Amino acid sequence: MPLSVVIDHIASIITMLPVRPGYRIKIEDKEDKANTGRIHVDYAQARDDLYDWECKQRVFAREMRHRQRIEEERLNPPSPPPVLPYSHQEAMLLVEKLKGQRALGAVAIYKCN
């Protein structure tokens, strides 16, 4: 018989009687020592298990937020490329080119320092 079936069978015939500080169990209402006992709950182990579970839940939530952010960024239109400022030398070459064309007419070109 598989272990899970045995455990289900035992669980169906165990009666729990609250007795402080823990629980007493009795199998098939028999009073002999082989069919009675006390359940011990290790709360420290349960707390460690809860902490591990909470850590895994936080990791999962973090991964989901990351996936969602990546998906939202994928759906957004791409940003235009950044506008690069002219260097001083490039600006001076452009000014000289404009001065040479004389297409500006009456507009004055000022040299910025």
Query: What are the Cα distances from residue 2, in Å, to 8, 9, 13, 14, 94?
Result: 10, 11, 17, 19, 87
Mean pLDDT, residues 70-87: 86
The residue ranges of every structural domain in the chain are 1-40
CB atoms within 10 A of CB 91: 13
**41-71 residue pLDDT tens:** 667 777 888 899 999 999 999 999 999 999 9
Model pTM score: 0.38
